[in-house]
Structure 1
Amino acid sequence: MVSGHRSSGDTEKAVRAKLGDAPVRHEQMAAVANIYRAAAAVRQHFENSVLRGVELTWTSFVVLWVVWIWGEMETRRVAEEAGISKGTLTGVARTLQGRGLMARSAHPTDGRLALLALTPEGEALMTDVFPQFNAEEGFVTGPLNDDEVLRLADLLRRIVVQVETCGEERRLELLDGQDPHPRRSGRRPKG
C-alpha cells in the first residue's frame, strides 16, 4: 500500500499492474495511501527540523500543544485530544515532567484522576517553538495557494469526521458485532 522511496505515482502504477482487473477502488486506495505518506513525511520533517532542536518528538509536541491550548486537563482528555493511548501519554508525560515542562497533580474532587498542566518552562518553550513550528507548516503547504490549503483542510476534516462519527458502527458491521482481536506486534508467539 505504501512505499518509502518510490513516488506516489510509481506506487499507484505498480498497484494497478499487480491487481489488474481486480475490483479495487484505486482512487480511494491512492487517497488513503497518500494521506498516510503525507502524514509520515510531515511528521518526519518536523521531528528532524524544528522539534529536534528542542529535543521533542512529534507526540511530545502534540501533548504540550494540547495542554498549552486548553490549559490544565485530565490525563484521559489529553490522551483523547492528542490521539494517543493513555499508556503512551503516561510515558510522554513522565518524560516531559522529568524535563520540567509539565506538572502532574491529583484531581481536586476525584483522587483516581490526574491533571496535567504546563510549567512556566513548558509555557516558555511552547511560546518560543510554536512560531518556528508554524513557519514549517507554511513550508510543507508551500506548493498550495491559500484556497487550496483551506480546501485541503476541509477535505481532511471531512475524512476525520467520517471516521469519528461512523467508524465504530462500521467496525461492528465488519466484525459482526465482535470485539477486535488484541493488537499484536507482528511477531510470532514464542513456543
Structure 2
Amino acid sequence: MSGHRSITETERAVQAKLSGFKLQREQMAAVANIHRAAAAVRQHLENSVLRPHELTWTGFVVLWVLWIWDDTETWSVAEEAGISKGTLTGVARTLESRGLVGRAPHPEDGRRVLLSLTPEGEELMENLFPAFNTEEAFVASRLSPEECLQLADGLRAVVAQLEEHGEQRRQELLAGAEPTPRRSGRRART
C-alpha cells in the first residue's frame, strides 16, 4: 500500500512493528511528532504563503534571521537558520540575485562577510509576514491559546536540553570522536 497515511495509521503501524522492543514510548512519540509536525507545517507554509513569492522554507528563514537581527555575519545566519555555511552560500546568492539580500565585508576583517536585507527584502518581509502568521494561526487552530503556550514551553525545553547537554551527549556516544562527514546517501564510486 502506498500513498498518504494518517498519523493514526502510522502510530498503529509503529506500535505493531515495535511491540517486542523495550522502549521509552512516550519520548519516542514526542520526538516523532515533533518531526511530523515540523514537516507538515513546513510543507503547508511553503505551498501556501511562500511559493507565490518564489521562496523556499530555507530562503524564508534566512530572510527572517536578517529581518530580526539586521546585519549579521554569514556563520551566524547559517547557525540561526540551522543550515550549513555551504547551503547558506547558495541561498544567499539566490536572494541576492533577486535584490532581497546584500552582502558587505565586515568592517573589522575583510575576510568575514555580513549579510543584510535590502529595502526590497525589508518590504517583502513586512508584507509577507502577516500572511505567514495567519497560516501559523490556522495550523495551531485546534489548540487553545493556553495549549499553544504549553506546547511552546515544551518545545523550548527540548531545545534547551540539546543546547545545554547535546554536545556532551554526542561526545559520550561517539567516545570523543568527531562525527563522520555527512553523505548524500550515494555509494562511493570505486
Query: What TM bracket, shorter-length normalisation?
Result: over 0.9
User: What SS does the aligned partner of 1:49 have?
Assistant: helix
**2:105 alignment counterpart:** 106
Task: Give me the whole-angstrom Cα distance separating, in 2, the residues matched to 1:98 and 1:25.
Answer: 48
Task: In structure 1, give the amino acid aligned to 2:149.
Answer: L
Q: Percent of counterpart pairs with the same letter?
A: 66
**2:48 alignment counterpart:** 49
**2:81 alignment counterpart:** 82
**1:15 alignment counterpart:** 14
In the TM superposition, what are the counterparts of 1:112-151 in structure 2 within 5 Å?
A: 112-151=111-150
Deviations 1:33-68 (A, max 9, x none): 111110000000011010011110011011001111
Task: Give me the whole-angstrom Cα distance separating, in 2, the residues matched to 1:18 and 1:141.
Answer: 30
- The TM-score normalised by the length of structure 2 is 0.96
Task: In structure 2, give the amino acid aligned to 1:41.
Answer: A
Change (3 A) 1:180 1:134: same
| Cα deviation, residue 4, structure 1 | 7.5
User: What SS does the aligned partner of 2:142 have?
Assistant: coil
**2:33 alignment counterpart:** 34
Task: Give me the whole-angstrom Cα distance separating, in 1, the residues matched to 2:93 and 2:179.
Answer: 30
Task: Give me the whole-angstrom Cα distance separating, in 2, the residues matched to 1:99 and 1:54.
Answer: 11
**1:161 alignment counterpart:** 160
Task: Give me the whole-angstrom Cα distance separating, in 1, the residues matched to 2:76 and 2:164.
Answer: 18
The worse-fitting range, judged by mean Cα deviation, of 179-188 and 138-147 is 179-188
| Cα deviation, residue 12, structure 1 | 2.0
| Cα deviation, residue 74, structure 1 | 0.9
Task: Give me the whole-angstrom Cα distance separating, in 1, the residues matched to 2:123 and 2:19.
Answer: 55
Deviations 1:95-136 (A, max 9, x none): 000000010000111011000111110011011001000101
Task: In structure 1, give the amino acid aligned to 2:113.
Answer: A
Name stretches of at least 5 consecutive residues in structure 2 with no aligned partner.
none
The alignment covers a number of residue pairs equal to 189
| Cα deviation, residue 146, structure 1 | 0.2
Where has structure 1 moved over 3 Å in runs of 4 or more?
none
Task: Give me the whole-angstrom Cα distance separating, in 1, the residues matched to 2:117 and 2:108.
Answer: 20
The worse-fitting range, judged by mean Cα deviation, of 9-18 and 101-110 is 9-18
User: What SS does the aligned partner of 2:143 have?
Assistant: coil
Task: In structure 1, give the amino acid aligned to 2:75.
Answer: R
User: What SS does the aligned partner of 2:114 have?
Assistant: strand
